[in-house]
Chain A
Amino acid sequence: MMDNAYLDSQADRVEVTGNGRSFDAFYRAHHERLFRILVLSLRNPSLAGEALDEAMTRALERWDRIASYDRPDYWVLRVALNWSTSWWRKTRREAYELLVEPSAEDGLPDPEVAAALARLPVKFRVVVVARLYLDWSTAVTADALGIPAGTVKSRLSRALRRLANDLGGEQ
């Protein structure tokens, strides 16, 4: 597994190229990490892949402008998350797979936590992923997701409370 530090360093390498950065380099540096974030957040690899393709395509179409952003990868992440939400609302595809919670058979070290995470709504889970898996600060999470810092705090707090309740009141 490529760890977050390595992927962050790749992201930084692209960042220092400034406005002259190429889409090719951006794509290679960010695609894998964004895909992981989306899979963890959406719990649906095919949807995550489709959302990321859609967002990358839009970035490519507007690359002259997107390349000038401080963090184009945040823009792509936001577009992918928004697109997946919109897709869900339009298609109402209630995938049966979503009803299957992770279990001990999946080989995860902590199936109880995995199942509880799976039950979190997306908007909460993406904040948990950003804050606890990516170790992003509140400010960075707010910037990346395009929501106020207060919202990050409240969503994280509520997510942890839900998880704790789900796990029998653990703090």
Chain B
Amino acid sequence: MRLEDRIRSTLEAEAERVEHAPQPVPAAPPLLRWQQGPLLALGVFFAVVAVGSVLFLLRSTPVSPPVAATPPPVETVPPTTAVSPGAETLAAAGLDSAVLYYPTILPAGWALCEEVINPPVARVSFCDPGAGENRITLDVLDASSPSSSDDEPVPGAIGWTMSGDRDELTVHVPVAVSWRLRAHSSGLDLDNVVAILKSVPAIGNRGSLIPTYETPMVVENFSETQLRELFAPEESVQVTRQQDGSFQSVFVIARSDQPDRMSLHAGRATNTDLIDLLGGLPGSQLVTAAERPMVIGGSGETVQAFWIQRGLLWSLTTRVDAELAQSTALALEQAIAATDLTGTANGIEAFQIDGVWVFQHNPEGWDDALHSGTADVVNGCLVVDGTIVIWHIDRIDEAADVIAAINAGGAPQLLIGGGGISLNEGATPDQIPAIIADQCPTSAVWFGAP
């Protein structure tokens, strides 16, 4: 049976197994996620207050974040803002200052009095447990959730907005593309609220969550043997590589001394990936013992550690205890740092569009020269002015359109950025990537830019 027929029959079989319970037509729009969170949080709040009141009588230590197993101690992040004079005297908060959304300074005597985590929203409140109703509540909100158009800018803080007064003051702070923080306070001056917010690591120490540039690695191009050597030098560990059907490479790590497997994911990173974890990773804490910014957290039985290294966002997901998760993550970070492998040697992908061979790559850098000419299909390969083009991944759609135009009898004229090599201009045959020479023997190659 042809591959396409096998795929078709498999999808039909899978579709037949999809259980579909008829859903009632919504009479009115149900609550959006950002609306559900606070309401759920409110319900949980009352439960927490009830239980918390009892617990408070039994213990005076701050509430721990709801990580499954207590993470090992992490170095603290020093407050980034000097104690600010105001109506209230601010002091070191005495909380776990590695938690990304806990302020490190608060009015003297204040403590954590409420925490509700319902990813992707989170709420923490701080108050004086002994007296008064003054408090400050921080909500991690989806950036797309609406705020009032009546808000005014906070002086001296770009993008921050505020409404209300000392009795009921609300301040919105953009944190990342996906998240913003809303502070709702009572009995605090704006100066104090701003100082408290700037002491929140995700805001004041934002820079510590941004990775510095490293030579990227392309995991997909590693062989299984290379990966095993990289991730599992111990004989007790086995590594298998999978795709999880989403967006990244997955390695399943099975240790003979642990009943549960661990999964290691590696996907292309953006600089703000760790900041984006703010609302999605319960109890997210900065692990400063790592050489690179690393965040660990989790809920239920699952612990996750995230770090950005060599252009990739790595995440270790496990059900083992948090201490082993962190030590494993740190060991992996060191192993990745120590390897000479970049995986970029074969970073060119060859495939066919409408029976025509094309090539693509996804380089970190490129030249800014220009190549122009008429596109044509020669010996089953797409060429531009007689040169094989390695298309940048962001422009591969253009290659498909060009092939369609050629097949329709056209002769498209192209102008492509990048840089090239040519045997006629001094290049040697071994400089022509083998993957190209194998499919489309040529004397000239153009490395396309985006």
Contact = CB atoms under 8 A, between A and B. Distances in A.
Given A94-B304, A120-B243, A132-B8, A45 B277 contact: no
Given A98-B246, A120-B245, A154-B400, A36 B280 contact: no
Contact of B400 (A119, A122, A150): A150
B192 to A, nearest CB: 31
B18 A148 contact: no
Contacts of A28: 25
Interface string A37-51: 001101101000000
A88 B33 CA distance: 14
Contact of A40 (B11, B26, B358): B11
B4 interface: yes
B3 A163 contact: yes
**Max chain A CB contacts within 10 Å: which of B7, B22, B178?**
B7
Contacts of B399: 150, 154
Contacts of A94: 244, 263, 265, 304, 315, 317
A35 B17 CA distance: 12
B32 interface: yes
Contact of B20 (A27, A35, A128): A35
Contacts of A93: 119, 280
Contact of A23 (B25, B244, B281, B315): B25
B4 A132 contact: yes
Contacts of A167: 3
Interface string B377-401: 0000000000000000000111111
Contact of A121 (B26, B32, B243): B243
Interface in A1-53: 1, 23-24, 27-28, 31-32, 35-36, 39-40, 42-43, 45, 53
Interface string A132-164: 110000000000000111110110011011011
A106 B50 CA distance: 46
A61 B15 CA distance: 29
A151 B400 contact: yes
Contacts, number: 171
Interface in A83-111: 86-94, 96, 98-99, 101, 108-110
Contacts of A149: 400-401, 404
A60 interface: yes
A160 B400 contact: no
B351 interface: yes
Looking at chain A, what size class is its interface with the partner chain?
35 or more
Contacts of A23: 25
A58 to B, nearest CB: 8
SS of A interface (majority): helix
Nearest to A25: B25
Contact of B11 (A96, A101, A121, A132): A132
A169 to B, nearest CB: 10
A61 B7 contact: no
A82 interface: no
A153 B358 CA distance: 12
B401 A148 contact: yes
Contact of B10 (A114, A119, A122): A114
A35 B18 contact: yes
SS of B interface (majority): mixed
Contacts of A45: 18-19
Given A35-B20, A121-B247, A154-B399, A90 B6 contact: no
A150 B397 contact: yes
Contacts of B18: 35-36, 39-40, 45
Nearest to B279: A90
A154 B281 CA distance: 35
Given A90-B280, A163-B7, A119 B351 contact: no
**Max chain A CB contacts within 10 Å: which of B263, B396, B400?**
B400
A121 B398 contact: no
A87 to B, nearest CB: 8
Interface in B235-252: 242-247, 250, 252
Contacts of B15: 1, 36, 39-40, 133
B418 to A, nearest CB: 19
A150 B404 contact: yes
Interface in A55-76: 56-57, 60-61
Contacts of B20: 32, 35-36
B245 A43 contact: yes
B245 A57 contact: no
Nearest to A94: B317
Nearest to A153: B400
B246 A88 contact: yes
B8 A133 contact: yes
B11 A99 contact: no
B7 A99 contact: no
Given A92-B315, A99-B261, A122-B247, 9 more contacts: A1-B15, A31-B22, A60-B26, A108-B13, A117-B11, A119-B242, A153-B400, A160-B4, A161-B352
Interface of A: 1, 23-24, 27-28, 31-32, 35-36, 39-40, 42-43, 45, 53-54, 56-57, 60-61, 86-94, 96, 98-99, 101, 108-110, 113-114, 117-122, 125, 128-129, 132-133, 147-151, 153-154, 157-158, 160-161, 163-164, 167, 170-171
